[in-house]
Amino acid sequence: MILLLLGAILFFLHQDFWFWNDARPLVFGFLPVGLAYHGAYTLVIAAFMALLCRVAWPAHLEGEEGPAD
């Protein structure tokens, strides 16, 4: 349940309407704030997907037969 709630929060945060009209401030002096936000968001989503694979992966998909030939 908590993973579902976290997924919904991350979905909402992806709709970054608060940075649509501003190219300033520049992050590190050259990167527009919206692009920096999406870079950070991508790292958070990658960590969330790794967490989902680790915690919520269905065990029945992991068979004992090994790779297919």
- Total domains, the chain: 1
Residue type present at position 47: A
Residue 38 lies in a domain: yes
52 with 3: CB under 8 angstroms? yes
Q: Could you give the CA distance from residue 31 to residue 34 in angstroms, rounded to a whole number?
A: 8
Q: Of the given ranges (27-31, 51-55, 64-68), which has the lowest mean pLDDT? A: 64-68
Residue 63 lies in a domain: no
Residue 7 lies in a domain: no
8-32, pLDDT tens digit by residue? 999 998 887 877 777 778 889 898 8
Q: Could you give the CA distance from residue 35 to residue 42 in angstroms, rounded to a whole number?
A: 11
Q: Could you give the CA distance from residue 18 to residue 50 in angstroms, rounded to a whole number?
A: 27
Q: Tell me if residue 31 falls in helix, strand or coil.
A: strand
Residue 69 lies in a domain: no
Residue 65 lies in a domain: no
Residue 45 lies in a domain: yes
Residue 62 lies in a domain: no
